[in-house]
A and B are shown apart, each in its own frame.
Chain A
Amino acid sequence: MTAPPSVEGGMVIERGKERIMLMFEMLDRETLGIITLTLRMTLLSTAISAVLGIPLGLWLDRVNFKGKGIVVLINRTLMASPPVVIGLVVYLMLMRNGPLGFMGMLFTLEAMVIAQVLLLTPIICGIVYTASQRNASHIRTFAITMGATKLQTQILLIKELGNEIYFAIITGFGRAMSEVGAIMIVGGNIRYHTRVMTTTISLLRNRGEINQAVFLGVILMLIAFTIQLIAGLLRKRERRTDENY
């Protein structure tokens, strides 16, 4: 016999409350540490990749040299490179017997950031390069007609390509946030040390702790949403309209 609708509704609310309480219980010190580390790694690697990728993309558009086509092709390939391959390359570089083994960086946050920078920089560079190909020459020409200095021209380029650069950074950030393969290899998913949200979700799923995995997944989505929201509000750019009256 089914319960009356009101009772059934009350049970659903109760169950919802229980789940929310359970989620807050899950938000213990360790989880908070994982979230903090994830944010540090993601923001740091996105920032470094933006600093490298944006000027590289602008430069690639501006210069003409023999073999530029090959460089662009390599960049496009790297944009789609499998994270595990990048992780493996960084691992081989940083492992004890590797060329950079003396630095002792394997299984650290720094190693994870390096791997992510290698993944993100070609993406940001590629998007900025493509956007520059469309608009940068017009902007540079305009800057010359206005008598802008080289520095003023660069500033104008970054301002005018703001939407595209924003998109490039957000895309890079999304990749950094969702990445598992490379950071698992170079970070090792070590508890209290290099365990981040994506590697934890993967681990929890393997252990069959689905509730906790889903909880972390929800938190990850909420963080991504919040950061996108803040970035969007900060930009505050005028709505572009091509209406012609």
Chain B
Amino acid sequence: MRITNVIKSFDKFTLNIESIDIHEGKIYGIIGPNGCGKTTAMKLMAGLIQPDSGVIDYKGLTPRDITMVLRKPYLLHDTVARNLEYPLKLRKIKPDNRLIEHYLEITGLTDYRNEYALGLSGGEQQKLALARALIFSPKMIFIDEAFSNMDIESVAFFENYILELQKANPITWVIISHQLSNIKRLCEYVFFMCDGEVDASGTTNELLSFPENKTLKQYLQYS
């Protein structure tokens, strides 16, 4: 995916991205202070909103190849299992019971299979949303603070799960997180955003261990 000269304006905020390249099969992180435009940038990349100007070249990816997990995920007014089955049904794929069982197991929701999804806790809802995004094997996945309500054990589990998944079947991930530990463990490249622009970018190690950018240095100080 290549983003070139993308501008998106709102009443009091303008996002201006000169250039971002996202390579297939890699894990990217987006960090930055609140209100800097991380989520807006991600929504643009995921095709949820359209830019006022500029080009987003998906390099052959279709909307069905891309998914996004939001911090407060939308869950269907239905059972946990039906939430998992939904993206498969959209693609006219008959839900395989073993597949459903696998994702119920990794999310720890096997016992809640037939429970109403909105009754789950915030962390459980995030796990379910993450599993629901993975179940149809997307080629690109955007994660917007989707670990924020999970307990430490679950976060560690999903970090390992994602890394294992990447070894077996690499897909492209773009992750927004305020937890630098998530970014350090998972991401190969990081974009630092400030005031609607990408202020700095580079490999995770060079950007977070040896920051040169002054704003980034300040941001990392408090993180």
Contact = CB atoms under 8 A, between A and B. Distances in A.
Given A141-B74, A146-B67, A147-B66, A242 B118 contact: yes
A238 B116 contact: yes
A133 interface: no
Contact of A241 (B47, B90, B118): B118
A141 B66 CA distance: 13
Contact of A144 (B47, B78, B116): B47
Given A146-B86, A245-B121, A240 B77 contact: yes
Contacts of B76: 160
Contacts of B73: 142
A18 B132 CA distance: 64
- Please report whether the interface of chain B is mostly helix, strand, loop or mixed according to DSSP: mixed
A91 B90 CA distance: 48
A139 interface: yes
Contacts of B77: 159-160, 162-163, 237-238, 240
B119 interface: yes
A152 interface: yes
A106 to B, nearest CB: 45
Given A139-B74, A238-B78, A147 B116 contact: no
Given A144-B63, A145-B48, A241 B121 contact: no
A245 B116 CA distance: 13
A40 interface: no
A146 B70 CA distance: 12
Contact of A147 (B79, B90, B122): B90
Nearest to B132: A146
Contacts of B186: none
Given A144-B63, A147-B64, A238 B74 contact: no
Interface centre among A138, A141, A152, A245 (most CB of B within 10 A): A141
| Chain A: interface size category | 20 to 34
B90 A242 contact: no
A231 to B, nearest CB: 18
Interface in A154-193: 159-160, 162-163
A134 interface: no
A162 B78 CA distance: 12
A240 B118 contact: yes
B119 A241 contact: yes
Interface string B124-149: 00000000110010000000000000
A239 B78 CA distance: 9
Contacts of A39: none
Contacts of B62: 147
| Chain B: interface size category | 20 to 34
A148 interface: yes
A243 interface: yes
A244 interface: yes
A242 B48 contact: no
Contacts of A242: 118-119
Contacts of A245: 119, 121
Given A145-B46, A145-B48, A239 B116 contact: yes
A244 B121 contact: yes
A152 B132 CA distance: 17
Interface string B153-168: 0000000000000000
B170 interface: no
B104 to A, nearest CB: 17
Nearest to B73: A142
B211 interface: no
B68 interface: yes
A63 B153 CA distance: 44
A43 B64 CA distance: 41
B92 to A, nearest CB: 10
Contacts of B66: 147
Contacts of A237: 77
Interface centre among A146, A152, A162, A237 (most CB of B within 10 A): A146
A152 B79 CA distance: 19
6 contacts: A138-B74, A145-B46, A147-B87, A147-B91, A244-B122, A245-B121
User: Which 5 residue pairs spanning A and B have beta carbons closest together?
Assistant: A147-B64, A142-B74, A145-B68, A241-B119, A146-B87
